[in-house]
Amino acid sequence: MSEQKRKIHPHKFTLWVAIGSILMMFAGLTSAYIVKRSQASWLMIEIPVMFWYSTATILASSVTVQLALKALKKREMINYKRLLVVTAVLGVLFIVLQVAGFRQFAAQDIRLVGAGSNASYSFLLAISGLHGIHVLGGVVALAVIAIRALNSSTRSYSSVPLEIAATYWHFVDALWIYLFIFFTWMK
Amino acid sequence: MSSETISHGHAAEASVHSHDSHEAHGHDHHHEESFLTKYIFSTDHKMIGKQFLITGIIWAIIGGLFSVLFRLQLGYPDASFPILEDLFGKWAAGGRISNEFYYALVTMHGTILVFFVLTAGLSGTFANILIPLQIGARDMASGFMNMLSYWFFFLASVVMFASLFIQTGPASGGWTIYPPLSALGQASEGSKLGMDFWLISMALFIVSSLLGGLNYISTILNLRTKGMSMTRMPLTMWAIFFTAVLGVLSFPVLLSGAVLLLFDRNLGTSFYLSEIVVKGEILPNEGGSAILFQHLFWFLGHPEVYIILLPAMGMVSEILSVNSRKPIFGYLAMVGSLFAICILAFLVWAHHMFVTGLNPFLGAFFVLLTLLIAVPSAIKVFNWLTTLWKGNIRFTPGMLFSIGFVSLFISGGLTGIFLGNSTLDIHLHDTYFVVAHFHIVMGVASFFGMFAGVYHWFPKMYGRYLNNTMAYIHFWVTLVGSYLIFWPMHYSGLAGMPRRYTDWSNWQSFNQFQDMNRFISTVAMVVFAVQILFVFNFFYSIFKGRQVKSENPWGANTLEWTTPINPGHGNWPSDIPEVHRWAYDYGKDGREFIPQTEPIGADESKH
Amino acid sequence: MSGYFIFIILVLAFVLIFQISKASEYVSVLKGEEKSFKQSNRINAFMFILFMVLGLFGAWWCNELLYDRTLLAQPAASDHGEKIDFMLWLTIIVTGVVFLMTQILLFWFAFKYQHSEKRTVYFFPHNNKLELLWTVVPAIFLTILVGFGLFYWFKITGDAPKDAQIVEITGKQFNWMMRYPGKDNVLGRKNYRLTDASNGNALGVDWEDGASHDDIEASEMHLVVGKPVQLVINAQDVIHDVGLVHFRLKMDAVPGIPTTLWFTPKYTTAQMKEITGNKEFVYEISCDQMCGSGHYSMRGVIVVETQEEYDAWMASKKPQYVTVQEAAAPAAPKADSTAAVATATMSKPLAQLK
Ligand code: HEM
Ligand SMILES: [Cu+2]
Ligand SMILES: [Cu+2]
């Protein structure tokens, strides 16, 4: 069995397959968006400024999660815990900013749902909403790891869970960047 | 939806139960398990597999019963059955099945059998039971995710079951739930609350199959025992692997389609809706496209039929070879054709949409790719035939069903060549020809594969045999009955008789089949009764069946038959055996079979 | 009463089968597993051959019984339909040969190679030549089928002839509505927001568009034999499908996305009565896409007739606009003058299909 030690950890591998799966979902949605775009009655989307802030936030959180991983590997436990919490908080902040971004639409009297809504904006909402749920999932994962870390009775120095969470976190980050560029570009 | 649970699962499990500890607990792992951890929240792949199987059996009974009910309507459109009113109240007022009830039954029948029985019940059962046993692993890559997969399936089942009791009834727009019908509560009773339940249940179901699929893939790729290279794996493993790949890449697309539908239903968006006047009411939605949903649906829907079929193909290949006492013919071609089918399955979805106003050039493309699938399918059929040729065949119940599978796959596959050709599909689309086609090739054939698997691996699951006499009756009645039910449907299809009709008596063009419909309904009831016999045999034999006395009752080469008769948690009491050869050395050098664990002899012939 | 009776019989049959099965298991243990295995193996092998023979006979018999009830027994009523019938026969022949060959081999092998002590199996794991053979041969036959198929597909889905008559057909739960373009041969513009069945505008025609003023609405479709017709297909509420079995054609009706279909009817309804020997014969439009609880009853009728009969029918019809006007203001005879204005501002309704 020793040859297996050198291989990628099966849980990590599973995550990569899961990433492929999630990508298919967004590929489905964005291709639907592209198809719809070519039809009449399509409105150009104005990306609200708030989305720039949220993008910056999620980028920053990717950095912090990476630092947390480094800290864990160096056994700097206090730093590690702090960075973990910061990452999770940034994740929540990202969601808050996204919601604020959608509020801006409402302020401009653009309907995302309901009568008079236009599919282009509904798409933006549906796609970023689904992305937001994935970010929340990451936040939950980080929170679990953080609670484990803060709870001194379980002393685990295995970096595998955090590595997996970090990979996932970078993924949702990259996914957002892709969506962000996609929506800006697709004007 | 899926990822948060996944990463959660990782986080929660990885620290308590990291991969390395798996190996550690191989040896005599016999600490006391409570009822709860052993039977309910079990993380043992064998127990989870049985949970999937038994839940699947329960669903199959329900789904089958529904078909008996709606066949009653089709066979006896003028008769009244007071007992139905006693049972279903307003749905069968006057003892006759109302239209809403009929459509609800058909929709649930399709949904249940396609997703809950032949996806979860089939893949869930055999992937879980067989993967670790056949590749030589102690358990799945993540037992916890595996357990979650079952419990999400259970939740999906509960929601779907609950939808049967809603005041306005369950979903009734067909298992394909095309909007706008499924999006507009005004358009149909079943599109009210029942449809939301359907969508929620399917979302849970998708999470379940993603969790399962991820696990199957990473287990097969990462946890094979020493010497078990990919090309030494039994074909069952290859089939399950490709099935999982199909599921993992196509189910998320259905999920996105379902999410948009939920939006349209509950938030007034216009993804699928445009310029609609329903029952005199003018809706504000503009700019949506109803066809968009069909693309998203069939992007899953077509791979889905292979998700249903591939595991059956894999098991049949295995069982045919074992019981012909002869290697499977063309192992690599078999793997290659599975691979080709897996790729092509993603590229043919629009063949369900030839008459939606699809661009004809696009249509032509899909015709080409669709008929291309016939080539790997033909390879498989001829390879199965050659496997039988000059064999020494034992007709175990598993073998009977495998041969039946091949027959049905041929019959149903050939009608696919009609439907895949868009010119003919213009004529045949949504007629009974289609009903005959997909029931034979996907419904009945996959059921045959599933039965073959149950009969073949029951000794491994429960340490006992199923009763043979009942098995023979089950097989012959089901084989004959299936052909009697579905063969004549080709004819009504060729008369253009549309599907999803509750009654044709007011039509000049389609009312000439009443006697045939009655005949089909009668046979359907007999076939259903025989399935109940099987279910009875199944549960009876778990407790009272003839006991298995040897580890390897079928004289098979694969690893699962090197475990004890009733393997415990961890499967092998001592070290996991090492593999030295492929799984199909039957009849080589005058030996009846050579297990995979036997090293290559010095003077062994090459093949 | 009879229900309970059947139920009791069923239960008894179950118990009987179960007892027999249990008994035969004991017997087989007594007799020796080896011996009873051989016996059942022989029986099952024989059953396969029997199944094949009876099955082939059954298929032939089924054909005897049902062939005349299918459309294979009558000529297609449209030019496109003839192409489809040819394609159908070609496919039936090709697949039929494969069907017979493979099924017979399957059951024959099962019988022939049933277990025998004497036989040593032939270790035959692969053979590249054979595998190549059954990759290439099916590929060739499929290419032929695809070739014919696509050739016809493009013919059928190609543009309608310029002189084709235009008929609009709109589906709603649960009936069909037809509209004819009238003398100008142009269908008036529609706007779904104007739909108002109680005021004679069930189709949502925009009366502002003059081209609509001579449009004729009907619940039955009348076509001229031998004259190409292009259907413009709409749906108001959910997806329906215009199924024309005798013409061998169908096309979905999708809300918000009009579709088209064209063909040339070959026989009048009267001629079809003779051809089919059915005095009740009518061309029916069936809805072929699940559209709700009345889906099975969504029937339309097509009358194919000679030009004279058609003209007479047309002459008996009044434009819907006129009907609506008369209903609204019985005293105002202004319809004619508006119709004149209309021709000047003719719109191009077919453009909206693009
Ligand atoms: C005794 C066995 C069965 C009988 C008699 C039967 C009969 C039927 C009939 C007559 C219909 C068409 C109803 C209509 O369109 O009006 C139907 C639909 C369907 N059946 Fe079965 N069936 C059987 C088993 C199965 C199995 C094993 C499957 C598993 C794949 C299956 C899957 C479906 C599906 C997917 C539909 C389409 C449902 C829809 O239109 O939404 N059936 N069945
Ligand atoms: Cu398909
Ligand atoms: Cu319909």
pLDDT tens digits for C35-57?
Answer: 888 889 999 999 999 999 999 99
> pLDDT digit string (tens) for B426-472?
999 999 999 999 999 999 999 999 999 999 999 999 999 999 999 99
CB B554 within 8 A of CB B456: yes
DSSP B462-515: HSBPPPHHHHHHHHHHHHHHHHHHHHHHHHHHHTTPBSS-S--TT-TTTGGGHH
| CB-side neighbour CA atoms (13 Å) of C223 | 34
Specify the ligand 1 atom closest to the Cα of B521. 5
CB B272 within 8 A of CB B266: no
- Quickly state the pLDDT bin for B32 (edges 50, 70, 90): low
Using the 3D structure, point to which of C106, C137, C157 is the last residue of a domain: C157
- Is C180 strand, coil or helix? strand
Residues C204 and C347 in one domain: yes
- Separation CA C233–CA C237 (nearest Å): 13
Does residue B419 line the site of ligand 1, with CB under 6 A? no
In the numeric block, which tokens belong to residue B144? 């916890």
- Quickly state the pLDDT bin for B606 (edges 50, 70, 90): confident
Is the pLDDT assigned to residue B93 strictly greater than 60?
Answer: yes
Q: Which residues contact B439 (CB under 8 A, 6 or more apart)?
A: B412, B485, B486, B489
**What pLDDT was estimated at residue A43?**
65
Q: Considering all CA atoms of chain B, what is the largest pairwise distance in Å, rounded to the nearest integer?
A: 84
DSSP B156-223: HHHHHHHHTTSTT-S--STTTT-TTTTT-GGG-GGGSHHHHHHHHHHHHHHHHHHHHHHHHHHHHHH-
Sign of CA dihedral B422, B424, B426, B430: negative
In the numeric block, which tokens belong to residue B249? 């890449």
Query: Can you tell me which residue has the tokens 């507009």?
Result: B184
SS3 helix, strand, coil % of chain B, rounded to 5?
Answer: 70, 0, 30
Q: What is the mean pLDDT of chain A?
A: 83
Distance B500 CA to ligand 2 centre (A): 18
| CB-side neighbour CA atoms (13 Å) of B170 | 26
- Is C190 strand, coil or helix? strand
Specify the ligand 1 atom closest to the Cα of B527. 1
First to last CA, chain A: 54
Residues C63 and C212 in one domain: no
- Report the phi/psi class of residue B571: left, alpha or beta, with left for phi > 0 and alpha for psi in -120 to 50: left
Is the pLDDT assigned to residue B99 strictly greater than 70?
Answer: yes
- Separation CA C48–CA A129 (nearest Å): 58
Give the Cα-Cα-Cα angle A18, A21, A24 (nearest 5 degrees). 155
Q: Could you tell me if A114 lies within 8 Å of chain B, comparing CB atoms? A: yes
| CB-side neighbour CA atoms (13 Å) of C152 | 26
- Quickly state the pLDDT bin for C354 (edges 50, 70, 90): very low
CB C60 within 8 A of CB B485: no
Residues C152 and C169 in one domain: no
Pairing assessment for the beta strands C216-218 and C175-180 based on DSSP bridges: antiparallel
For the residues B190-199, what does the mean pLDDT come to?
Answer: 92
Of A57 and C10, more confident: A57
Give the Cα-Cα-Cα angle B528, B532, B533 (nearest 5 degrees). 115
CB B136 within 8 A of CB B576: yes
For the residues C290-307, what does the mean pLDDT come to?
Answer: 93
Q: Which domain holds residue C84?
A: 38-114+125-157
Domain at A2-185: CATH architecture: Up-down Bundle (1.20)
> pLDDT digit string (tens) for C310-349?
999 999 988 888 888 888 776 545 444 444 444 434 443 4
**What pLDDT was estimated at residue C344?**
39
Distance B367 CA to ligand 2 centre (A): 11
* Neighbours, chain C (3 or more CB pairs < 8 A): B
Strand ranges in B399-485 using DSSP code E only, listed in sequence order:
none
Which residues on B lie below 8 Å from C126 (Cβ)? 329-333, 607
Does residue B67 line the site of ligand 1, with CB under 6 A? yes
Is the pLDDT assigned to residue A80 strictly greater than 90?
Answer: no
Q: What is the mean pLDDT of chain C?
A: 88
Compute, in degrees rounded to 10, the torsion defined by CA atoms A89, A92, A93, A96. -160
Q: Supply the CATH number for residue C287's domain.
A: 2.60.40.420
- Report the phi/psi class of residue C25: left, alpha or beta, with left for phi > 0 and alpha for psi in -120 to 50: alpha
**What pLDDT was estimated at residue C337?**
45
Our CA-based measurement puts residue B226 at a distance from the nearest CA of chain A, in whole angstroms, of 7
- Separation CA B61–CA B73 (nearest Å): 19
Is the pLDDT assigned to residue B198 strictly greater than 70?
Answer: yes
How many other CB atoms sit within 10 Å of the CB of residue C200?
Answer: 17
Is the pLDDT assigned to residue B22 strictly greater than 70?
Answer: no
Residues C284 and C242 in one domain: yes
| CB-side neighbour CA atoms (13 Å) of A9 | 18
Specify the ligand 1 atom closest to the Cα of B60. 27
The ligand minimizing its distance to the Cα of C291 is: 3
Sign of CA dihedral B154, C292, B252, A173: negative
ipTM score assigned to the predicted complex: 0.90
User: Which amino acid, A105?
Assistant: F
Distance B157 CA to ligand 1 centre (A): 19
Our measurement of the distance from residue A5's CA atom to the centroid of its chain's CA atoms, rounded to an integer in Å, reads 30
Is the pLDDT assigned to residue B19 strictly greater than 50?
Answer: no
- Helix B2-16 vs helix A10-37: angle between axes, to the nearest 10 degrees? 170
Using the 3D structure, point to which of C157, C180, C215 is the last residue of a domain: C157
User: Which amino acid, B68?
Assistant: V
Domain borders along chain A are 2-185
- Quickly state the pLDDT bin for A153 (edges 50, 70, 90): low
Residues C252 and C141 in one domain: no
In a domain? residue C26: no
- Helix C33-66 vs helix B468-494: angle between axes, to the nearest 10 degrees? 10
**Domains within chain B, CATH numbers bracketed:** 40-274 (1.20.210.10), 305-546 (1.20.210.10)
**What pLDDT was estimated at residue A152?**
63
**What pLDDT was estimated at residue A122?**
86
Residues C110 and C230 in one domain: no
CB A18 within 8 A of CB B5: no
Phi then psi for residue C174, to 5 deg, are -130, 65
Q: Which residues contact C75 (CB under 8 A, 6 or more apart)?
A: C82, C85, C266, C267, C275
In the numeric block, which tokens belong to residue C304? 């194919």
Mark out the alpha helices in C67-127 (DSSP H runs): 79-112
**What pLDDT was estimated at residue C346?**
41
Q: Which residues contact B364 (CB under 8 A, 6 or more apart)?
A: B422, C150, C153, C154
DSSP letter assigned to residue C201: B
Residues C193 and C314 in one domain: yes
Does residue B118 line the site of ligand 1, with CB under 6 A? yes
In a domain? residue C72: yes
For the residues C95-117, what does the mean pLDDT come to?
Answer: 94
Does residue B528 line the site of ligand 1, with CB under 6 A? yes
**What pLDDT was estimated at residue A156?**
64
CB–CB of A35 and B292 under 8 A? Answer: yes
For the residues A124-137, what does the mean pLDDT come to?
Answer: 91
Nearest residue on chain B to C10, alpha-carbon basis: B529
CB–CB of C157 and B360 under 8 A? Answer: yes
Query: What SS3 string covers B46-67?
Result: HHHHHHHHHHHHHHHHHHHHHH
Q: How far is the CA of A138 from the CAs of A65, A91, A125, A129, A167, in angstroms?
A: 11, 8, 20, 14, 10
In DSSP terms, C303 is beta-bridged to C222
Residues in chain B, overall count: 607
Is the pLDDT assigned to residue A97 strictly greater than 80?
Answer: yes
Residues C257 and C147 in one domain: no
| CB-side neighbour CA atoms (13 Å) of C42 | 7
> pLDDT digit string (tens) for B533-563?
999 999 999 998 889 988 999 999 999 999 9
Residues C260 and C145 in one domain: no
In a domain? residue C11: no
Is the pLDDT assigned to residue B18 strictly greater than 60?
Answer: no
- Separation CA B552–CA B598 (nearest Å): 14
Which residues on A lie below 8 Å from B12 (Cβ)? 144
How many other CB atoms sit within 10 Å of the CB of residue B456?
Answer: 24
CB–CB of B19 and A1 under 8 A? Answer: no
Report the percentage of chain C scoring pLDDT > 70: 92
CB C293 within 8 A of CB B100: yes
Q: Could you tell me if A21 lies within 8 Å of chain B, comparing CB atoms? A: yes
Residues C153 and C169 in one domain: no
Counted domains in chain C = 2
> pLDDT digit string (tens) for C65-86?
999 999 999 999 999 999 999 9
Q: What is the mean pLDDT of chain B?
A: 89
In DSSP terms, C178 is beta-bridged to C169, C218
In the numeric block, which tokens belong to residue B308? 């249903």
Q: Could you tell me if A184 lies within 8 Å of chain B, comparing CB atoms? A: no
CB B131 within 8 A of CB B58: no
Of B7-16, B125-134, B335-344, minimum mean pLDDT range: B7-16
Does residue B435 line the site of ligand 1, with CB under 6 A? yes
How many other CB atoms sit within 10 Å of the CB of residue C117?
Answer: 6
**What pLDDT was estimated at residue B2?**
37
Residues C178 and C94 in one domain: no
CB B153 within 8 A of CB B208: yes
Q: Which residues contact B446 (CB under 8 A, 6 or more apart)?
A: B118, B122, B308, B309, B311, B312
**What pLDDT was estimated at residue A44?**
67
**Test mutation, B395, B465, B466, B531, chain C, max C CBs within 10 A:** B395
Residues C132 and C175 in one domain: no
Which residues on B lie below 8 Å from C71 (Cβ)? 494-496
- Quickly state the pLDDT bin for A42 (edges 50, 70, 90): low
Strand order across the beta sheet in which C283-287 lies: C221-224, C299-305, C283-287, C240-244, C249-253
